[in-house]
Structure 1
């Protein structure tokens, strides 16, 4: 399998895992903030609700990406890798929260549609791009040596 096809396969798997996490994130957030009546238990705490939703979805992405997207890679178990995963996810969470906070507190939008577009759609799209490139390079690097020669030839 060439580099391009391997990249496309990883990107496709990453997007499927991200799609599942997107649904988990959206459901958790909407239950916490809007529930059925339009005012959920955390309506006045959208940022905290988003943090909870993202943390739940992050567990989904870790398992899916570790065992499917990057499952064929030889990856040593190091505590530093888990720390790096957490740090990179904190940055990604900041991207999502920044989009939601901008919509809520700068633009004054607090509807179901506005929150889902800003925090879940736009925020998660930015965070997903960030995660794909950082996970590929630092969290789940291929330590087997396969592909390094090709990367050096192209570089």
Structure 2
């Protein structure tokens, strides 16, 4: 495979990953803005606190979407570490988006429902860039290529292609197609 075609394949994979990330993020955005507006209009909770409540609910929805849709093929062996890192980076994203809303609300006095939604949306956008990078780099790590092939081959019931018989052992014969028991 040439460098150009390898680059094209990698770019296509990244595009698919970003599209899946965006689909989950779109649902998270609707949850975040929906809960934010409900909490803001049904309670006396201040704007930034309402935003934090909404973002925490969206983080829970997003984890399920990322783990079981966007990154379902990634390493699942360290769920505790994965969830810890996910929450850590999600909190950093929460601080980013709440910071944008805080500055707009308390720094500039832009507190109307429309202004709050605009700056909440802007904060989510900035935080999303950070989250995309951190989740794919640190949280939902790709399996090493060799391990991924061995996992796939064991799932399909085949010996890993890199497996070599040990010294003094005979390779196992594979059944011929006409001798398979029915």
Deviation at 1:83? 1.4
> Are 1:73 and 1:144, in contact at CA under 8 Å, matched by a contact in 2?
no
Aligned counterpart, 1:2: 9
1:29 to 30, 36, 50: 36
Whose Rg is larger? Answer: 2
Distance change >3 Å, CA 50–CA 63, structure 1 → 2: same
> Where does the alignment leave 5 or more consecutive residues of structure 2 unmatched?
1-7, 149-182
Structure number with greater CO (CA < 8 Å, separation at least 6) is 1
Aligned positions, number: 140
Q: Deviations over 1:52-95 (max 9, x none)?
A: 10011011111111111111223312422221111111100001
Q: Give the alignment's TM-score, normalised by structure 2.
A: 0.72
2:27 to 20, 26, 38: 20
Q: RMSD value over aligned CA atoms?
A: 1.7
Query: Matches of 1:21 and 1:68 in 2, distance apart?
Result: 13
Unaligned runs of 5+ in 1: 35-39, 149-155
